[in-house]
Amino acid sequence: MESNNKDNENEDMISDLTNEVILHILSFLNTKQAVQTCILSKRWINLWKTLPTLIFSSNHMTFESYKVFLSQFLFLRDHSTNIHTLHMSSNYTVYDRQFKEAIKYAVLHNVKHLQLDVPNIECFPSCFFSCLTLTSLNLSAHYKRLFNMDQPQIFLDSLNLPSLTKLSLKYYAFRGNTDDCAEPFSTFNMLNTLIIDRCVVRRTSNLRISNAKLVNLTIHCFPNAYPFTSSGLASFRIELYYAPSLRTFTFTGENILKLFGSNNVFSSIKHLNIHLPCCLNPKNHSSILLDWLFKLATIESLTISSDTLTVLYIKPLMVLFILHL
């Protein structure tokens, strides 16, 4: 009996796993760590070459070693294998051809999900701006571009991404147009989910949400202590202009923004989530928040944080009236 127990303890269960399962496990690792598993056995020597998920991070790497590893990996990878997900992040603010080549390689290998923590969208290769296979895009610019530099990272409203269903943007600036509003999302014909995280607008005070298929909208705004940056206006107004499919609206942040737009869009929203911090001054924000509840009176569910209730507590009778509409 003891012998059987020892055999069970020494059993190599990993070797019984299929390559697909092992690759799925390796996809949770930083790509450099995934490559290092090649020393485990002969079977693992070339497994990393068919990884569908690539995660490149410059943590604990010099700029030169980061570039060399990126270049060598792309050269040695199995080029017949498509890329499902590419995640790139770097502590460095300077990129050269290796970065461009990584994005280009992913696009040419039918990438579906891109998560890029990078300072400059202008360094992307031209093929990125018309990628046909991309369904999810998560872009995060550098915080300093908004507050410490004269040239902010402008989100380009000329992207042609016909398959895009999810878009997440952090620390970007939206540029106003001739209609005195910023309207950067109307060209994404398949967009289902939009996340706007601490972005600003330039040359206008309105951010217009206009998209026929948008279902889920999340906005996280800057604190009220930063109404302006060197890049633009942080305390902009949200205009729900045309979004007939919008069902869920989530708002978080240290500053409640003014809301206006089409009554048709207001009535289409069924689920409202509001999360405000305890540091918010109720006197300065209760009226704006009550205006939200008036305009969105046809919602079916309301989720608010306890701190949001504190903001509303200054006018309890008005809140009860609205909640019973």
Question: What is the reported pLDDT for 319?
Answer: 56
Question: What is the reported pLDDT for 15?
Answer: 73
Cα 324 to Cα 26, 138, 214, 289, 298, distances in angstroms: 52, 39, 28, 16, 10
Question: What is the reported pLDDT for 225?
Answer: 46
Question: Could you give the percent of the chain with pLDDT greater than 90?
Answer: 47
pTM above 0.75, yes or no: yes
Burial of residue 78 (CB within 10 Å: 0-12, 13-18, 19+) is exposed
Question: What is the reported pLDDT for 222?
Answer: 75
Question: What is the reported pLDDT for 322?
Answer: 52
Question: What is the reported pLDDT for 43?
Answer: 85
Query: What's the rounded Cα separation, in Å, for the pair 211 and 245?
Result: 8
Cα 150 to Cα 123, 145, 229, 239, distances in angstroms: 18, 8, 10, 27
Count the neighbouring beta carbons within 10 Å of the beta carbon of residue 181.
Answer: 20
CA dihedral angle for residue 22, residue 25, residue 31, residue 32, rounded to 10 degrees: -80
Residue type, 292: W
Residue numbers of the chain with a pLDDT score lower than 50? 149, 225
- Hey, what are 77's tokens? 């990878």
Question: What is the reported pLDDT for 130?
Answer: 93
Question: What is the reported pLDDT for 156?
Answer: 83
Question: What is the reported pLDDT for 167?
Answer: 98
